[in-house]
Amino acid sequence: MRAEAENLLRVIESRASSKMLTPGHVEYSDIIRALEVAVSAPSAHNSQPWRVVVIDDKDVIRRLLEEMASEWERDLAMDGLPRWKIETIINESKKRTLRASIVIVVCLSMADMDVYPDERRQGYEYVMAVQSVAAFIENLLLALHVLGYGACWRCGPLFAPDAVRRVLAIPPDIIPQALIEVGLPGGTRPKSRRKLSEIAYRNRWGASL
């Protein structure tokens, strides 16, 4: 039993963001299976606020990237970047996403979250919904990894929610959160991780484990 647990832990440890996906066939049934695993994630009040749109149509992916790029371009211009730099950043980002066989847009719904009369507690409800969606995404990434696929979590929809809604016909009360690129695994960069001594303590802040 301990050996099985260690094997599972090694699989979890070996997950890494695949930023260099290799184009190739992804079984749609595997995407469904990964989503079935992802929904086992914990959520505040068991609200399960995650909503997803699975895109396996390249034309839709291209339209989505074009619409998002228009909004991103404005943001980069506000940052004072020169035109050539903006075009380079956007084109490289598009090329990277287009290497994915399938794109999964993950959204958030506040429909089943608690409602409070004050802004402070309502703000915490939104944070709890975001945390819940993040747990769903981590489960999704792990499931895809176990199934042999590469995947990368990108946050572009946060910065271009209206573009995402337009292209995918998403209702106005649904909040785009992330875009997951899925494909055959290509190269991955070595993961740099902080030492436990830098992020974890025992009984009080700063005390070693």
Distance CA 40, CA 136 (A): 8
Q: Is residue 5 part of a domain?
A: no
Q: Is residue 39 part of a domain?
A: yes
Between vectors from CA 69 to CA 154 and to CA 175, what angle results, nearest 5°? Answer: 55
| Cβ contact 103:183 at 8 Å | no
| Cβ contact 63:167 at 8 Å | yes
Q: Is residue 9 part of a domain?
A: no
**pTM, 2 dp:** 0.94
Give the CATH number of the domain where residue 143 resides.
3.40.109.10
Q: Is residue 193 part of a domain?
A: no
Q: Is residue 49 part of a domain?
A: yes
pLDDT in tens, 18-60: 888 988 899 999 999 999 999 999 999 999 999 999 999 999 9
Residue 188 pLDDT exceeds 70? no
pLDDT in tens, 101-150: 999 999 999 999 999 999 999 999 999 999 999 999 999 999 999 999 99
Which domain range does residue 52 map to? 17-186
Q: Is residue 10 part of a domain?
A: no
Q: Is residue 175 part of a domain?
A: yes
Q: Is residue 36 part of a domain?
A: yes
